[in-house]
Amino acid sequence: MKAQRMVLHALAVAALGAVCMAQGNMGQQGGMGQSGTGLPGATQPSRPGMPGANDPNSPSATMGRDATTMKSPDQDFIMKAAQGGMAEVNLGNLAKQNGGSDAVKQFGDKMVTDHSKANDELRQLAQQKGITLPSDVSGKDKRLGKTLQAKQGSEFDKAYTRDMVRDHQADIAEFKREAESGKDPEVKAWAQKTLPTLEQHLSAAKQVASQVGADTAKKTAGAMSSPQPQ
């Protein structure tokens, strides 16, 4: 009888071990996160076409690209406005030196005063947003500055006021676009605030150009239409 009990005990232990092994295999196949199980805690590997942490088509990645795209036009506007503003100050100082009429000299002085103030405001706004502004004017404005620097008196007056009319026409269009459609509320507000000053500049530039006999009939692309504005 003792021998029989020992045999039965051994069989029971063997059967229990088999059950445990079977349960362990099931856990490896289902509960350890293999693909296709659908069990809680299972980790589904990324597959082409399915949203995942590294999938460029996932909602989070798409939202990131959209945010960058939305910021781009505002930043582009800031960069161009900074270059154009510097150019207006430089040319205004040149008008005070090379201008032949008091009207041109006074207009140049106003350009220096108003655009220096706007440039300071834009610089502070760019710093708040971590944007590094250009340190120099655009190539186009450099060439214009050299051309005007070689002129004196009435010749300078005509060339300078003609350029001021055309540039302000183009710049006003750019500022209006930002003021109406800008995505960044602070940049948009700055454009709205600065726009009336530019419109005053255009009106004054037309008046002075008429006084010095400058031909402003032909409208061309101005500072902000290329790599520069006001």
Q: How sure is the predictor about 14, in pLDDT bands with cuts at 50, 70 and 90? A: low
The whole-angstrom separation of Cα 129 and Cα 124 is: 9
Q: What is the mean pLDDT of residues 9-34?
A: 48
> Percent of the chain, pLDDT > 70?
63
Residue 30 has pLDDT above 60, yes or no: no
Contact 161, 214 (CB under 8 A): yes
- Higher-pLDDT residue of 183 and 221 is 183
Pick from 176, 147, 182: nearest CA to 162: 147
How many domains in the chain? Answer: 1
Residue 53 lies in a domain: no
Q: Is 209 part of a structural domain of the chain?
A: yes
Looking at the domain assignment, is residue 4 inside a domain? no
Q: In the chain, where does DSSP find H-type helix? A: 2-26, 59-98, 102-128, 139-149, 153-181, 185-212
From residue 20, give the alpha-carbon distance in Å to each of 13, 16, 25, 27, 145.
Answer: 11, 6, 9, 11, 88
- Better-scored residue on pLDDT, 152 or 43: 152
Whether residue 52 is contained in a domain is answered as no
Mean pLDDT for 87-103 is 97
CATH of the domain at 195: 1.20.1260.10
Residue 156, domain extent: 71-225
Six-digit token string for 191: 């454009």
Exposure string for 114-124, b = 16+ CB within 10 A, e = fewer: bbeebbeebee
Q: pTM for the full model?
A: 0.65
Q: What is the pLDDT of residue 5?
A: 54
Do 108 and 93 touch, CB atoms closer than 8 A? Answer: yes
Lowest mean pLDDT among 13-22, 50-59, 111-120, 126-135: 50-59
